Structure 1
């Protein structure tokens, strides 16, 4: 589980673990059925083994849940960063437009104005 690359990979790994566990339990139950009752001592050992396996599964589920919550938090942060990036891009474009406009006005202000005595309506 710790080496899972993403949530889908972790889910697939957990599914394989659960299937292997199910197969092991079914095999153990079948073997016990063939052996007979096995007495009280066999029942205690089986109960202890099942309790240990249950504890392992609980830890695996807790780890998986923590990873999913962490993934959700990372997704939320990514969305916030994308929104912030879009806002900054808009600000940058507005600043570029304003810079261009100021540059055009500066060129007009610095260019020499030659007075023309011709009538602008006559070509």
Structure 2
């Protein structure tokens, strides 16, 4: 009798399990508690064959080469096959539960990867600037303050899984910092050189204008000096003429004096005193 009752109960329970639509699945509240649960390490998910886009799986696998396929599929499932949400999910996983070493292009919280935080243009190559930093579209977002760099360093160190990973990340950040400083110094040197060239150009143009003015002044002075020399020559000639005229005047005075003496002597020896010869006077 008891065996018949147990058989009936077992058969009725199996029928209820078959007809129940939510049998064997957790309630929504339990599912939410499972997803948002705890600071403990999550257990590795079961392998889900064929879940997730193969292209997204390959892209995430290339970015996180040390993460297992199960965690990648779990991240895609949690993020609804969204690449950014899946990446964020993997980055937020504790290091103790999964080795979450990111690839070389780790994205920092400011939205730029370590490879993109410094442009390849505007860097000094053989002491020549390839292109100014202003030619890069996002050059205005180039990190410049120590606070931003410290945030990158802290985030990289927090994302490191072990000492070797921390060293690798620190080396990568230092390399990016060196490239950034080289780029900024190159751009500042180029701007300074352009300013100096403009100043020298203005000074050169001013010197050319002054040189033109001086040339005109020298030409005018040369003409005046030439006129002065001509006047000096004329004055010298006039002085020579004056000396000649003075000598002629003295000679005439001497001759006049001699003639007057001869006339006086002739009057004294005349036979008719007081009368002059009509042919002479």
* Other-structure match for 2:166: 44
Query: What stretches of structure 1 of length at least 5 have no aligned partner?
Result: 1-6, 13-38, 116-123
Matching residue of 2:230: 108
Q: Distance in 2 between matches of 1:8 and 1:84?
A: 35
Q: Shift of residue 60 of structure 1?
A: 1.0
Q: State how 1:68-79 maps to structure 2 within 5 Å.
A: 68-79=190-201
User: How many pairs align?
Assistant: 84
TM-score, normalization by structure 1: 0.56
What's the counterpart of residue 10 of structure 1?
127
| 2:213 is the counterpart of 1:91 | yes
Deviation at 1:50, TM superposition (A): 1.1
Moved over 6 A (4+): none
Q: In structure 1, the residue corresponding to 2:234 is in which secondary structure?
A: coil
Alignment root-mean-square deviation, CA: 2.8
TM-score (norm 2): 0.27
Name 2:182's counterpart in structure 1. 60
The higher relative CO (CA closer than 8 Å, separation ≥ 6) is in 1
Q: Deviations over 1:84-120 (max 9, x none)?
A: 11111101110111111101221232222669xxxxx
Change (3 A) 1:64 1:77: same
Within 2, Cα distance between the matches of 1:11 and 1:94? 43
Given the superposition, is the C-alpha separation of residues 82 and 104 from structure 1 closer, same or farther in structure 2, using an over 3 Å criterion?
Answer: same
- Once the two structures are TM-superposed, the CA of residue 74 in structure 1 deviates from its matched residue by 1.5
Which runs of 5 or more structure 2 residues have no equivalent in the other structure? 1-123, 130-159, 239-281
